Structure 1
Amino acid sequence: MKKKNLPMEIVNPHAAGIDVGSRSHFVAVGQGADQVREFGVYESDLLQLAQWLHAHHITTVAMESTGTYWQNLFAALQGAGLEVLLCNGKFTKNIKGRKTDVQDCQWIQRLHSLGLLTGSFLPDQATEELRTYCRHRTSLLETAAVTTQKMQKYLRLLNLRLDVVVRDITGQTGMAIIEAVCQGETDPEKLACFRHGNCRKSKEEIARALCGNGRRDLLFALTQELELYKVLQAKIAACDVAIEQLLIEQVEADEERRQLKADPKPYKRVNKNAPQQMDLNQLSFQYFGGVDLLQIEGVSHSTVLALMSEVGAEGIKKFPTAKQFSNWLRLCPNTKVSGGRVLSSHIPKGSNRLKIALRNAANVIGNLKETHLSDFFRRVAFRKGRQAAVSATARKLAVIIWNMLSKGVQYQPPTQYLFLDEKRKLKLVQRIKKNIAKLDLGPEELGFTMA
């Protein structure tokens, strides 16, 4: 039986595919063996790669987002005037068979020439710079948390049960006692005198908890961890200064944003891990052009900072609809239907930093009382459990944020909950009013008589 060829339409005739590597990049401008070439990763090699693509009249290039190896290559190709498509690795998986770097770049080139690849979301340069600061700050916070756990461990081995009598060993009372212990103080009564007035435990109980064994090796390790903790806190403060300076530069560049003034929100508690020095309420209000995201219940300063660094003010406009934005966050169920029957409707695996921030905000909303979002959270939690309610509320937050930033509106929650029949009645009335206004009908034409 003669084989049949099924030709497919070429969408991008001048397309190339690149298999990104740590030590070399394989580039394919066609499916022939002589149309594949290997380049190094140095700056001179990247310039030769761009020149070779121009020599073959390439206008668009597709590559995988492999680690951080693609970033310098991406910038070099964009600087050379080429259209670069950064793709998720799961969309460029090769067919079953032998896998090599040459076959990978040819497969990417074939998919891109047929128009079967879609690009990933990439922020602008200012947002990417802010993202670097914020992610580095998060890394410092995680390292400081590990250091805190080690200090708590050495205190416990020293039989100084500070974790029992204070809520946070890195608070004012805890840090004062730890510094005194590291300086050689062993008298429990004197250590208890460092108690802050807001501490719930009495001096007597704190003194009973601070009768240690005085081991030198554990005291040395505790001193080392305390010094490391102070260094990390200083670096976090320096990172906060850099973030504030960058935000001020972006705000000062626009005259309209500079004149905006946000309402104070003393009821919004500033978490200890959030930036302490900057007025994030005012800066976020100016950054988003007068849209106050902190009016949403459950949204904290950390949530707003995550949104600013991961998406940005202009980046959210790259998503045409709220559904696409929530789908990018992987907060929408991945419904699979076959034969008219729903096989599964689970949320896709994987998360980014903004999704984690929205889920944390949704978890806070679940503990609030008598608000629109907390009522929604409890209705979902009653039917499907708290975990499903967190995901559903996080998705609702994503939709609210997209509408506020895309349409430039403020947060206006409904004052009361409407049941399904009431919602249908309201939509019907709105549709009738819209048709009456569209057809320009008067009371007499509708059959109403004026008294």
Structure 2
Amino acid sequence: MDVLHECCCGLDVHKKSITACIITPKGKEIKTFGTMTRNLIELVDWIKNSRCTHVAMESTGDYWKPIYNLLEVEDLQPLLVNAQHIKAVPGRKTDVKDAEWITRLLRHGLVQGSFVPDRDQRELREIVRYRRSIIEERAREVNRIQKVLEGGNIKLASVASNILGVSARNMLEAILQGEKDTEVLADFAQKKLKAKKDDLKLALEGRLGEHQVLMIEKQLGHIDYLDDLIKELDEEIEKRMLPFVEDLELLDSIPGVGRRIAQQIIAEVGTDMSRFPTPGHLCSWAGMTPGHDESAGKKKSAKTRKGNKKLRSALTEAAKAASRQKNTYLSAQYHRIAARRGKNRAAIAVGHTILSLVHILLTRKQAYVDLGFDYLEQRKKEIIVKQSIKKLESLGLTVTIREQTAS
């Protein structure tokens, strides 16, 4: 095989140690370093002194990040490689052999680096992911409050759609203050909930113990803290998103894609679509395309491959939101697939379409134009007419087709 890089380095990264192998025309050299900052600086200096032009490492957890940051600053062209793509021969695995194997693959150009965005986008991505985890934690805390209320037979969730809405929150605060009169508690109902006062009185007749009151008080305090934290993160993200205001507006025009989902898509993918030649490449990288597993002419499981879990989660959420909108192409696509293949597969398929639209909109710099809920039916109009006539004739009916005249 041809040698593409005369002097290169491979790193086998672990939590407490890094095994490095450098191969040059003069020979091979292997060293082991610690993972403290001082050790990493020594590693980078050793690589520079050896005049290496390329460095490759496995994407091991989060341990690769500080090494990558230092190598990036020194312009050593680091490559982050998927571990599944560089598996060596089974049964002959050591840290030294792994580092040497990575180096040899890199030297002959047999490894391909994973997509790693620039430093600014990586920082934005970490903040956006942290906000999402905080939002998920808030949802878990709300479920814990619901569990405590059910334990005291307070059936507030059976009447109010949101147990932390203005009305329900005022009721919970009154309960924490010791109020037990259901008539007084039901009077906190506002707007549409006023019409359900009788149901509220029945739902609030439960009994909460002292420990349950204490738990609800702490849980509400935790939710308030999380709300403040989410608000602070929103403000920071908005500042960092100022260069991408136009791109956010473009993505926000897609049904099901709200402001936060648009921010997460940009944080994960970026706005430069030139790194993905086609929408299909982007969807494949994100793990939103069916897999290919065929042998001897037999097709096996076509489940989606592993990809960007955070992006996949956001796209699935957007797909389910799009399915609840009326008279849109994405909604029609979801319900058409869900009827045949189930809701989960439909959500992935619509998420795939949304991500394809992201690539197209960011490339063309134009807003989304909906095709309409009957787009597919119009494309297959003749087929649908023939199938319908055939079914009616099988029932013994005579069918006459006539074009509808415009009134």
TM-score range (shorter-chain normalised) is 0.7 to 0.9
Counterpart in the other structure of 1:106: 100
Counterpart in the other structure of 1:412: 369
The residue type paired with residue 377 of structure 1 is Y
Counterpart in the other structure of 1:266: none
* Structure 2 counterpart SS, 1:160: coil
Aligned equivalents of 2:27, 2:215: Cα separation in 1: 60
2:354 maps to 1:397: yes
- Asked whether the 8 Å contact 1:366–1:378 carries over to 2, the reply is yes
2:266 maps to 1:308: yes
- Asked whether the 8 Å contact 2:285–2:307 carries over to 1, the reply is no
Aligned equivalents of 1:337, 1:420: Cα separation in 2: 30
* Structure 1 counterpart SS, 2:88: coil
Counterpart in the other structure of 1:17: 10
Match of 2:205 among 203, 211, 233: 211
Deviation (angstroms), 1:297: 2.1
* Structure 2 counterpart SS, 1:97: coil
2:21 maps to 1:28: yes
Aligned equivalents of 1:228, 1:355: Cα separation in 2: 28
- Asked whether the 8 Å contact 2:255–2:330 carries over to 1, the reply is yes
Post-superposition CA distance 1:402-425 (Å, at most 9, x none)? 111112233234464453699xxx
Match of 1:235 among 225, 229, 235: 229
Larger helix proportion of the pair: 2
The residue type paired with residue 97 of structure 1 is G
- Cα distance change on mapping 1:100 and 1:367 into 2, 3 Å: same
2:289 maps to 1:329: no
- Cα distance change on mapping 1:204 and 1:133 into 2, 3 Å: same
- Asked whether the 8 Å contact 1:362–1:393 carries over to 2, the reply is yes
Among the aligned pairs, what percent are the same residue? 30
Counterpart in the other structure of 1:81: 75
- Asked whether the 8 Å contact 2:316–2:351 carries over to 1, the reply is yes
The count of aligned residue pairs is: 379
Aligned equivalents of 1:50, 1:375: Cα separation in 2: 55
- Cα distance change on mapping 1:236 and 1:364 into 2, 3 Å: closer
2:39 maps to 1:40: no
- Cα distance change on mapping 1:195 and 1:51 into 2, 3 Å: same
Counterpart in the other structure of 1:261: none
Unaligned runs of 5+ in 1: 1-7, 252-282, 423-451
Give the TM-score, by structure 1 length: 0.77
Aligned equivalents of 2:217, 2:341: Cα separation in 1: 48
The residue type paired with residue 262 of structure 2 is V
Aligned equivalents of 1:340, 1:212: Cα separation in 2: 63
- Cα distance change on mapping 1:223 and 1:377 into 2, 3 Å: closer
- Asked whether the 8 Å contact 2:22–2:28 carries over to 1, the reply is no
* Structure 1 counterpart SS, 2:217: helix
Counterpart in the other structure of 1:254: none
* Structure 2 counterpart SS, 1:364: helix
Aligned equivalents of 2:108, 2:92: Cα separation in 1: 22
* Structure 1 counterpart SS, 2:292: strand
**RMSD value, Cα:** 2.5
Post-superposition CA distance 1:321-367 (Å, at most 9, x none)? 11110110112222233445434433224552222222222223334
Deviation (angstroms), 1:246: 2.0
* Structure 2 counterpart SS, 1:198: helix
- Asked whether the 8 Å contact 1:166–1:201 carries over to 2, the reply is no
2:66 maps to 1:72: yes
Moved more, 381-390 or 209-218: 381-390
Counterpart in the other structure of 1:247: 241
- Asked whether the 8 Å contact 1:186–1:212 carries over to 2, the reply is no
Give the TM-score, by structure 2 length: 0.85
- Asked whether the 8 Å contact 2:81–2:111 carries over to 1, the reply is yes
The residue type paired with residue 84 of structure 1 is P
* Structure 1 counterpart SS, 2:125: helix
Alignment of 1:20-419 (within 5 A): 20-30=13-23, 35-199=29-193, 202-248=196-242, 250=243, 283=245, 286-287=246-247, 292-314=250-272, 316-349=273-306, 351-414=308-371, 416-417=375-376, 418-419=378-379
* Structure 2 counterpart SS, 1:99: coil
* Structure 2 counterpart SS, 1:199: helix
- Cα distance change on mapping 1:308 and 1:403 into 2, 3 Å: same
* Structure 2 counterpart SS, 1:29: strand
- Cα distance change on mapping 1:287 and 1:412 into 2, 3 Å: closer
